[in-house]
Amino acid sequence: MKIVTILGARPQFIKAGSVSREIAKHDQIQEIIVHTGQHFDKNMSDIFFDEMKIPKPDYNLNISGLSHGAMTGQMIEKIEEVLIKEKPDFTLVYGDTNSTLAGALASSKLHIKIAHVEAGLRSFNMKMPEEINRILTDRVSTVLFCPTQSAIENLKNEGFENFDIKVVKNGDVMQDGANFYSNLAKKPKDLTLSGKYILCTIHRAENTDDKTRLTDIFKALNEIANDTQIILPLHPRTKKIIKNLNINTKNLTIIDPVGYLEMIYLIKNSNLVMTDSGGLQKEAFFFKKPCITLRDETEWVELVENNFNTLTGANREKIINSFKNHKFNQNFNLNLYGGGEASKVIVENLKAF
């Protein structure tokens, strides 16, 4: 059996790594990895792949820095060439990026079976390009691997039971990754930790590209930092926006983005996570940390329903109030994401096709 895996960003490589390690246990499956280049990342050197114990891509398409249409179009064209050459039994796509959608569209027109990992997730916000990518990818797939019960319910509500698409609840591949990398975590160099601290990340356009939201978030962070150290790994793009808006950050420990193993260290040793990232909300839970989510909605509703996570949007008062008064559920042993068997279930199901 031959599988072509389409990836386009560092987090996708990390998630897919768990499945690749599982595939490698099966002699009869060959995996070919295609990197579209969507998120150019200078940190994705050979060292990254070696350190993370994930296979290097077989193809690099180098498509990045274009508008959504141009990028997706070029990806479809180049992925189609790879698929025609490799003739896989399955194309494996992850998540909700333009690479995900391009891989699905190119495969569907060639009648190649498609497996979508992290299927069924919805934010119900059609302004998010990710939401469009998810919905369209789900609809043309052959098998949908859903991380949660709410993802299964979303598909039911959209009538997926009427389509010839297999829906599997397999758990979350990020849980597999968190289990695997937990012991490999390493402390970021040159960072002084004063004991108790909050780990914070802000990168979503809905926050960084909205002056009022960004200003309000930083007002809240500055106030909270009077009480507890806030460590904020910040992308250069966001750093630039903050500088241009003259936003005060003097109370905060701002550092450059860190490698994944360092990130795991920072999560594991924190007291609280504050973020607008999807992945980090779950990682907080995997490492038994409460989370304040600086968004108005989340795809990971079970974290909010079970009170491991609270949504504050960019509302200064709500953020501060949640920090001071919110009583989070401390029973982190609840199995919400499959307990680390997600990759195994994926491979078993693909083999059965």
**Residues designated catalytic:** 203
Among 115, 165, 280, 303, binds ligand UDP (CB under 6 A): 280
**Shortest distance (Å) from residue 98 CB to ligand UDP:** 13
Give the footprint of ligand UDP on residues 100-129 (CB under 6 A).
Answer: none
Distance CA(337)–CA(114), nearest Å, equals 23
15 and 117 in contact (C-beta within 8 Å)? yes
Give the footprint of ligand UDP on residues 247-276 (CB under 6 A).
Answer: 257-258, 260, 263
Q: Which CB, 160 or 218, lies closer to ligand UDP? A: 218
- The single-letter code of the amino acid at 48 is F
**Ordered strands of the 291-293 beta sheet:** 253-255, 229-233, 197-201, 272-275, 291-293, 309-311
**Shortest distance (Å) from residue 296 CB to ligand UDP:** 14
When asked if residue 147 is in the footprint of ligand UDP (CB under 6 A), the reply is no
Among 203, 219, 239, 344, binds ligand UDP (CB under 6 A): 203
H, E, C per residue of 254-288: EECCCCHHHHHHHHHCCCEEEECCHHHHHHHHHCC
Residues contacting ligand UDP: total by CB under 6 A = 13
**Shortest distance (Å) from residue 263 CB to ligand UDP:** 4
Distance CA(153)–CA(62), nearest Å, equals 37
- Return the closest-CA partner of residue 20 out of 3, 44, 35, 37: 3
Q: Which CB, 37 or 279, lies closer to ligand UDP? A: 279
Q: Which CB, 88 or 279, lies closer to ligand UDP? A: 279
- Return the closest-CA partner of residue 142 out of 170, 163, 121, 120: 163
Residue span binding ligand UDP (CB under 6 A) among the ranges 145-153, 278-286, 306-314, 315-323: 278-286
What percent of the chain is helix, strand and coil (3-state, nearest 5)?
45, 15, 40
Q: Which CB, 108 or 123, lies closer to ligand UDP? A: 123
Interaction site with ligand UDP (CB under 6 A): 11, 201, 203, 233, 257-258, 260, 263, 277-280, 283
